[in-house]
């Protein structure tokens, strides 16, 4: 395990990992002017680099201009689709049997309303879907265009098409027109009031409507416990036991610092923390400080040494002579993997097992999030963070919303402002609105070293000046991926199997990045796939893995509990009292805005 972090050693680490090593800071006025200009523009574009979009468009346009065969193909496609639509429109208008030209994709929920099957709305729908198909053909499959630029341009085309979708307009949306007739326009009055309230709340930085019903420490994050350690970066919470005896080995949970920790301690019925405590486990969890401009120089090494490693040391102090089960969620799982690799090959370290929840270790197939990550985009984002000192939660949320714009932007706007209907607030929605920031230096290092360079998986990521290798991890691993995850795609998470020196129990569960993890027993409709990969087994690609894996109904939490029991000793000890510490859970950091 790395040596203790003394003040002198931390100073040396900060010097060695100075952000200037990653990207030299501007030393003269012209460069500062450039960065300020980029930062100003970046605020209006939600941190998206217009240069990156322009480069993608230029790559596509120049190659398309020199591809007359593609022109001919697109012209033929356009003529064919127009004729098909005209035939469909004529038959529908005359009341004759008309087979739709195209059917929506199963995951496209915008067209589920029966109104889209009635005239004339069926014509709008078919025209839009045919147009969407044509633009996909026009932006892909052109020889010479780089894969990244092709993906960016196809994504941008989808965003523009989503803006022009007939679902977004009063006259072309059957549900909106029906509501207007049924309610004599009252839906528009409610929608206008909803819009005014949202504008007011955004201007005053208030939380989303209804989120006041889910207050940390009262309705959510309410599992009894104490803050047993605090530094400038973390609070460590220990939860009170509710069983007379507990398992000997404690559990340490490392959530992502891009989110508040209580995603894993929501309401009492769906709290993973409460579930573990009820099953006789001693549970610790990290609550991250929400950084501001004063924390701009906190880096990945600070999060490792003053975050994960500091928490491990404290758990060992509270529960001496016992190894712990370490759990990491999302970025927290990536950082926990770095810590485990840095501890080396020894089997006598502080960790008994490693559980990774929707956490990536290989970023070569990181899904649509990589659309926002290239050299141009990262440089532009760095200029925005350089001025602010951090990446704002609104700027991060904007990128995630774009990945599912028809669900998280346009359909939401239609429901709230045209239909005048707000979805009831839930604990998960309230948590999602309680976002955090990320320091300039840490986020720059994370994007460059992990995403752009994929240094961790390739053995180039350095801790204490030495490169670490994931193959040095000899712990049993329980890895959970979620089927519809757009942050950590399951095929990317699946590459944990390439760590050949440890057993990997891999779980693929229904749901997305958050809802798939918050999957308590009894949650209706949940199921998961499971398979054990032993150290030394041949690699199985994701498609073959899915075809061969065992399918189970219910929650993966129960499978994990059985796995933990198998990896732990059979020793039970009297329930551990929680020291008074520094105050009750959920602590202070979770309340920072």
Q: Which residues are catalytic?
A: 330
Contact (CB, 8 A) for 253 and 329:
yes
∠ CA 449-455-460, nearest 5°, is: 120
- What values do phi and psi take at 317, rounded to 5? -70, -40
Q: Token match 């006789």: residue?
A: 280
Task: Look up residue 350 and give its DSSP letter.
Answer: S
Cα(15)–Cα(22) distance, integer angstroms: 12
Cα(451)–Cα(373) distance, integer angstroms: 7
Structure tokens at 87: 């035939």
Question: For the chain, how big is the Rg over CA atoms in Å?
Answer: 26
* DSSP-derived pairing of the beta strands 234-239 and 225-230: antiparallel
Cα(364)–Cα(153) distance, integer angstroms: 20
Listing DSSP states for 247-313 in one string gives: ESS-EEEE--TTS-GGGGS-SGGG-HHHHHHHTT--EEEEEE----GGGTT--HHHHIIIIIIHHHH
- What values do phi and psi take at 514, rounded to 5? -100, -50
Listing DSSP states for 32-43 in one string gives: HHHHHHHHHHHH
Closest CA to 447 of 506, 526, 391: 391
Structure tokens at 130: 């045919």
């Amino acid at each position: 395990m790395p040596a203790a972090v003394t003040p002198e050693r931390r100073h040396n680490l900060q010097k060695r990992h100075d952000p200037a090593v990653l990207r030299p800071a501007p030393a003269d006025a012209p460069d500062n002017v450039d960065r300020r200009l980029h930062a100003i523009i970046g605020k209006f574009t939600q941190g998206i680099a217009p240069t990156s979009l322009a480069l993608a468009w230029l790559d596509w346009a120049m190659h398309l201009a020199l591809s007359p065969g593609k022109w001919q193909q697109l012209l033929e496609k356009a003529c064919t689709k127009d004729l098909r639509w005209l035939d469909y429109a004529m038959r529908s208008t005359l009341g004759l049997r008309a087979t739709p030209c195209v059917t929506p994709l199963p995951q496209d929920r915008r067209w589920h309303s029966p109104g889209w099957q009635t005239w004339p709305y069926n014509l709008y729908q078919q025209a839009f879907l045919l147009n969407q198909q044509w633009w996909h053909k026009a932006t892909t499959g052109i020889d010479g265009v780089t894969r990244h630029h092709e993906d960016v341009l196809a994504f941008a085309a989808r965003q523009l098409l989503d803006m022009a979708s007939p679902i977004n307009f009063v006259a072309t949306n059957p549900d909106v027109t029906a509501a207007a007739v049924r309610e004599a326009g009252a839906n528009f009055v409610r929608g206008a009031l909803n819009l005014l309230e949202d504008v007011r709340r955004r201007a005053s930085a208030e939380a989303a409507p209804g989120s006041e019903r889910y207050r940390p420490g009262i309705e959510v994050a309410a599992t009894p416990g104490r803050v047993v350690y605090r530094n400038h970066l973390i609070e460590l919470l220990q939860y009170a036991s509710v069983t007379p005896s507990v398992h000997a080995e404690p559990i340490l949970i490392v959530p992502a610092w891009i989110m508040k920790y209580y995603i894993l301690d929501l309401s009492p019925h769906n709290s993973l923390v409460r579930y573990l405590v009820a099953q006789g486990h001693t549970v610790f969890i990290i609550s991250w400080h929400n950084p501001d401009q004063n924390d701009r120089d906190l880096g990945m090494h600070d999060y490792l040494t003053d975050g994960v490693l500091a928490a491990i040391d404290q758990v060992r102090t509270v529960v001496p002579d016992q190894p712990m089960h370490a759990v990491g969620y999302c970025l927290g799982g990536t950082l926990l993997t770095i810590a485990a690799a840095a501890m080396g090959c020894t089997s006598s370290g502080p960790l008994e097992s490693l559980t990774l929840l929707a956490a990536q270790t290989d970023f070569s197939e990181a899904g649509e999030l990589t659309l926002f990550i290239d050299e141009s985009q990262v440089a532009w984002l760095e200029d925005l963070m350089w001025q602010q000192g951090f990446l704002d939660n609104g700027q991060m949320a904007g990128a995630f919303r774009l990945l599912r714009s028809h669900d998280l932007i346009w359909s939401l706007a239609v429901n709230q402002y045209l239909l005048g209907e707000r979805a009831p607030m839930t604990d998960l929605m309230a948590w999602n609105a309680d976002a955090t920031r990320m320091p300039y230096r840490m986020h720059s290092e994370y994007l460059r070293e992990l995403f752009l360079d994929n240094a961790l998986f390739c053995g180039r990521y350095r801790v204490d000046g030495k490169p670490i290798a994931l193959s040095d991890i000899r712990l049993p691993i329980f890895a959970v991926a979620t089927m519809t995850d757009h942050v950590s795609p399951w095929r990317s998470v699946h590459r944990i199997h390439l760590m050949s020196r440890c057993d990997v129990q891999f779980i693929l569960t229904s749901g997305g990045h958050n809802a798939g993890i918050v999957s308590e027993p009894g949650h209706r409709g949940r199921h998961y796939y499971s398979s054990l990969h032993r150290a030394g087994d041949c690699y199985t690609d994701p498609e073959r893995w899915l075809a061969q894996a065992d399918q189970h109904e219910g929650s993966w939490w129960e499978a994990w509990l059985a796995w933990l029991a198998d990896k732990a000793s059979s020793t039970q000890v009297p329930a551990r009292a929680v020291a008074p510490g520094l105050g009750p859970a959920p602590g202070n950091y979770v309340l920072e805005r």
